[in-house]
Structure 1
Amino acid sequence: MYTPEGDKAREQVNSWIRASGVFDGVLDFDAVWRDPADPTSIRGDLHTGDYLHGNDAGYEALAKSIDLSLFD
């Protein structure tokens, strides 16, 4: 289902969410899972093999990335 156009739209939306200032906080799951060697892909150790769905390690990484002080 990946297309370059869809990925461009995803990047634009994520950029706006990160920088707009309209949110009290942002949980940047894209940044947690992003493969530094290929920013359009999920890190190999964090997905189920389909480059789309997280595995246990992937969801653990998301959980650990949450700054719980956002909920104070």
Structure 2
Amino acid sequence: MFLFQGVNDIKAEPGATADQLIAGYRRLADRVHAAGKCVAVATIAPYKGWPEWDPAGEAVRREVNTFLRTSGEFDAVTDFDRVLRSPDDPERILPAFDGGDHLHPNDKGMQAMADAVDLESLDCGSP
């Protein structure tokens, strides 16, 4: 399973906390692993400039991304945050990848995301 979610939970009103999101990721990973499958996860992409972005949500995004990168609870991690973020403002999508709303990547951004996925990492030995 490839798991890429979280930004909608953060930007919702009220937004989810990092602890709530992390608990949800853990539940999903546990269920997938219990079914004998592997779970690859992607970090939450930047979205500053979207009307519902705020510093509190950004703090949640960063905390969750740190968990996703370092927890070891997933069979693979693809870092969409690093792929999409602007080096000039890491809370924003790189302008060349921004679909115009500061949340959704354009075709080039989607291609960069696809290219970042290590397809071999999605095979964790399950039949």
Q: Shorter-chain TM-score: which interval?
A: over 0.9
Q: SS of the residue aligned with 2:77? A: coil
Q: SS of the residue aligned with 2:112? A: helix
1:14-53 mapped onto 2 (5 Å cutoff): 14-53=65-104
Percent of aligned pairs sharing the same letter? 44
Partners in 2 of 1:11 and 1:57 — Cα distance?
24
Contact 2:97 / 2:109 at 8 angstroms: preserved in 1?
Answer: yes
Partners in 2 of 1:17 and 1:33 — Cα distance?
16
Partners in 2 of 1:2 and 1:34 — Cα distance?
15
Q: Does 1:67 align with 2:113?
A: no
Structure 1: which amino acid aligns with 2:90? P
List 4+ stretches of structure 1 deviating above 6 A. Answer: none
Q: Does 1:2 align with 2:53?
A: yes
Displacement of 1:71 in angstroms is 2.3
Partners in 2 of 1:41 and 1:7 — Cα distance?
10
Partners in 1 of 2:122 and 2:61 — Cα distance?
26
Could you list the runs of 5+ residues in structure 2 that have no partner in the other structure? 1-51
Partners in 1 of 2:99 and 2:76 — Cα distance?
28
Partners in 1 of 2:115 and 2:109 — Cα distance?
10
Partners in 2 of 1:7 and 1:13 — Cα distance?
10
Partners in 1 of 2:75 and 2:104 — Cα distance?
27
Root mean square deviation, CA, Å: 0.8
Q: Over alpha carbons, which structure has the higher Rg?
A: 2
Q: Does 1:58 align with 2:104?
A: no
TM-score when scaled to structure 1? Answer: 0.94
